[in-house]
Amino acid sequence: MRARTAEAGSGQAGSSQPGPGEAAAPAAHQGRGIAYAATAFVISLIAYTADIALHSHLHLLSWFDLDVYNDAGLIARHHPASLYTWQLQPGIKFTYTPFAALVFDLGSRLAVPVLHWGMTLVSIAVLPAVVWLTFGALGWRGRERLTATLAVAAVALWTEPVVRALELGQIELLLMALIVWDLCQNDRRAWKGAGIGLAAGIKMVPLIFIPYLVLCGKIRQAVVAAAAFGCTAVAGFALLPHASTKWWLTGYFLHAGNVGDVGSLVNQSLLAVITRAMGGVSAATPVWLPIAVLTAAAGLTAGALLHRRGRPAAGWVTCALTGLLVSPVSWDHHWVWVVPGLIVLIDRAVRSHGRARWMWWALAAAVTAVYGGWPGHWTGPHAFVLHYGMIGFFIGPHPVNEIYHLHGIQLLSWNLFAVGGMVMLAFALVAAVRTWRSGSAATSAKPADLPAS
């Protein structure tokens, strides 16, 4: 059959042709597919809600990080000079930009229960929105897109990064939604890129999308993103001058240790992997720096090549994975980007044939398993309570004194998310090289043969 593969955000004109499998599948079959997927999503939401309610004594929604945001907003309003010296607990302090503190000031004006539950509900709502946008960027349309969105969102809700982001009240899901929405806008929109700049103004890791846009030839969007980021810094200096001076002019933001223990189990960056292997961050940093530079160069180049060959969604997912790997600190909840990554793998599986199709499905299943929110216990009072998923799964408890003395399966299990990210990046590099060698022009607006599903 023939189907459209136009990807949102590519700047190409759209087509009236249907998405994957839409034309061939009877309306009744598509209707049943939507019903099944919707049922799965509702069951997933009910199961998540029940898990929270049945384990209310364990505080599975602690909103710990959200409380830090809330306190930072209060401090920014009442005692701004102490923004980066205040500590919620020993070692727990505010580590985002001054502009982020201004944003959190708005949230701190809400009643705490409203803030807590509002953040949870909005974060859950943006998850299927990200899935919907990503499928749209891959050319899925109509009922097939809706079915796929509901089905994948049902699974994504139970991935460990998403569960942890919800537990902590983290802003990661909202920032990912903002960035994905921005990237999916039409290139003709003058303000495209502003969402990336705004997200980077809150949390600096999204800055990696600016050189990615440059390498993709999207100079105007890169300039808009950089300008928006600059405006957030200017706003910080105008309204929080003391805090901004400390953040930007003293190198405060360059010290990874300010955000916690770099060697912690839940830090799944390349620096954390090397730190745990070498016994400390001081010994690891000289080794990490050239590796991070090479990884960033390879990942950004691969993402740009995929984009230029008509696969922008695969390109910006590759960029996001690269950012997670090269950032000094990538907590487990930062890895929410595996959700659009999983969608790209599913799309490749649907569009492939024969053994290649099974390979892509197997890789998608492996990503789901590795980043799944597996419980620490299946029976007893802590049954179905999620605890870091598969990270450290094979070693039982996680004594701090073992962090720098890993051996055997620990070398894999303690670095599982980072290893998974490196594997996905390797697949992206191979795909980019094959695309470059083929020498084919971008095909984002051209139809492609797809199997009926």
Higher per-residue confidence, 447 vs 272? 272
Higher per-residue confidence, 417 vs 388? 417
What are the φ/ψ torsions at residue 260 (nearest 5 degrees)?
A: 135, -170
Residue 13 is assigned to a structural domain of this protein: no
Residue 255 banded pLDDT, cuts 50, 70, 90? confident
Residue that terminates a domain, selected from 167, 185, 203: 185
Give the integer Cα–Cα distance in Å for 136 and 124: 19
What's the pLDDT at 132?
Answer: 98
Instruction: Give 324-348 pLDDT, tens digit per residue.
Output: 999 999 999 999 999 999 999 999 9
Q: Which of 18-32, 201-215, 399-413, 423-437 has the highest mean pLDDT?
A: 201-215
277 in the same domain as 180: no
| Lowest pLDDT segment from 41-50, 192-201, 257-266, 430-439 | 257-266
What's the pLDDT at 252?
Answer: 82
Structural domain of 57: 23-185
Number of Cβ atoms within 10 Å of the Cβ of 69 = 24
Q: Is the pLDDT of residue 392 over 80?
A: no
Residue 121 is assigned to a structural domain of this protein: yes
Q: Is the pLDDT of residue 452 over 50?
A: no
| Lowest pLDDT segment from 6-10, 138-142, 189-193, 251-255 | 6-10
Residue that terminates a domain, selected from 142, 169, 185: 185
422 in the same domain as 287: yes
272 in the same domain as 168: no
181 in the same domain as 315: no
CB-CB contact of 442 with 306 (8 Å): no
Cα angle, residue 53 at apex, residues 49 and 59 outer, rounded to 5° = 110
Instruction: Give 203-244 pLDDT, tens digit per residue.
Output: 999 999 999 999 999 999 999 999 999 999 999 999 999 999
CB-CB contact of 334 with 322 (8 Å): no
DSSP state of 17: S
The average pLDDT across 432-442 equals: 75
The structural domain count of the chain equals 2
Residue 343 is assigned to a structural domain of this protein: yes
| Lowest pLDDT segment from 100-104, 354-358, 375-379 | 375-379
Higher per-residue confidence, 223 vs 59? 223
Residue 421 is assigned to a structural domain of this protein: yes
- Mean pLDDT, all residues of the chain: 87
Residue 248 banded pLDDT, cuts 50, 70, 90? very high
What's the pLDDT at 27?
Answer: 65
* Share above pLDDT 70 across residues of the chain, in percent, rounded to a whole number: 88
| Lowest pLDDT segment from 148-152, 297-301, 402-406 | 402-406
289 in the same domain as 157: no
Instruction: Give 134-180 pLDDT, tens digit per residue.
Output: 999 999 999 999 999 999 999 999 999 999 999 999 999 999 999 99
Give the integer Cα–Cα distance in Å for 383 and 379: 5
Residue that terminates a domain, selected from 137, 157, 185: 185
What are the φ/ψ torsions at residue 216 (nearest 5 degrees)?
A: -80, -5
266 in the same domain as 177: no
What's the pLDDT at 314?
Answer: 96
What's the pLDDT at 400?
Answer: 62
172 in the same domain as 297: no
Residue 396 banded pLDDT, cuts 50, 70, 90? low
Residue 201 is assigned to a structural domain of this protein: no
Q: Is the pLDDT of residue 13 over 50?
A: no
Q: Please state whether beta strands 448-449 and 92-93 pair in parallel, antiparallel, or not at all (unpaired).
A: unpaired
Cα angle, residue 270 at apex, residues 268 and 271 outer, rounded to 5° = 95
The token duo for 405 is 């003395």
Give the integer Cα–Cα distance in Å for 380 and 393: 18
Cα angle, residue 146 at apex, residues 142 and 151 outer, rounded to 5° = 150
Q: Is the pLDDT of residue 70 over 70?
A: yes
- Global pTM exceeds 0.85: yes
161 in the same domain as 27: yes
Give the integer Cα–Cα distance in Å for 66 and 159: 20
Residue 8 is assigned to a structural domain of this protein: no
Residue 244 is assigned to a structural domain of this protein: no
Residue 426 is assigned to a structural domain of this protein: yes
Q: Is the pLDDT of residue 3 over 50?
A: no
Q: Is 270 exposed, middle or buried (0-12, 13-18, 19+ CB in 10 A)?
A: buried
